[in-house]
Structure formats: C-alpha cells, structure tokens
C-alpha cells in the first residue's frame, strides 16, 4: 500500500452531555446558520458549539472558503446585521 501524502490524525475523543435549549435568535441570522450547517453537513447545534468554543479562545472558527459561503448566505437571506450591532439589538413588540 502506498501511503505517501496520507494524513494521519491522533484524536482524543471527549465525551459530553448535550441538553435541549430554547435559544432565541434573530431570524436572518438563524437562516444563515441553518444554511451554513447544511453546507458543512453538520447539525446546527454542533455548528453553534464550534463557533462558541473558537470565540471563547479568541480563535477564528472559519477559513476563507467558509467565510465566502457565509457572505453568499448573508446575501441570499438579506442579513444586514454585523458584529457592531450585537449590543444594540431590540425586539419588535
């Protein structure tokens, strides 16, 4: 067998317990997240976990290709919000 160029990863599996939550989130943001989860072929909850874990460590969760897809999804779902808006959001009555 030829293993030239093969990549091998040693992974430590971390066992966790997930809980159901009633997370409320802005409508277009949710659409973009769902679209991204579908694109990445992963459950929405795992995508959110990954984003949060990266953010908690000050690390970027996405590479250039995924950021380009996010930009496309934001356009498709007319998402106008930015990070600057995060602390100024209010809900409609």
Within a domain: 6: no
Instruction: Please report whether residue 60 resides in a domain.
Output: yes
Q: Mutual orientation of helices 27-40 and 44-56 as an angle, nearest 10°? A: 100
Q: Is the dihedral of CA 16, 22, 24, 25 positive or negative?
A: positive
Per-residue pLDDT of the chain (93 residues; tens, 9 = 90+): 455 565 666 778 889 999 999 999 999 999 999 999 999 999 999 999 999 999 999 999 999 999 999 999 999 999 999 999 999 999 987
Can you tell me the distance from the alpha carbon of 53 to that of 71, in angstroms, rounded to the nearest whole number? 21
64 belongs to a structural domain: yes
Predicted confidence (pLDDT) per residue in 6-16, tens digit: 566 677 888 99
Look at the chain and report how many structural domains it folds into: 1
Q: pTM for this one?
A: 0.82
**How many Å apart are CA 43 and CA 86, to the nearest integer?**
24
Tens digit of pLDDT for each residue in 33-42? 999 999 999 9
Q: Is residue 33 part of a domain?
A: yes
**What domain range includes position 68?**
27-77
Assign residue 78 a region (left: φ > 0; alpha: ψ between -120 and 50; beta: otherwise).
left
Whether residue 42 lies inside any domain: the answer is yes
């Amino acid at each position: 067998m030829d293993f030239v160029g093969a990549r091998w990863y040693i992974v430590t599996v971390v066992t966790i317990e997930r809980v159901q939550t009633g997370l409320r989130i802005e409508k277009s943001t949710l659409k973009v997240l769902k679209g991204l989860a579908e694109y990445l072929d992963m459950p929405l909850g795992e995508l959110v976990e990954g984003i949060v874990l990266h953010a908690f460590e000050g690390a970027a969760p996405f590479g250039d290709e995924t950021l380009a897809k996010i930009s496309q999804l934001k356009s498709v779902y007319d998402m106008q919000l930015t990070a600057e808006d995060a602390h100024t959001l209010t809900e409609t009555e």
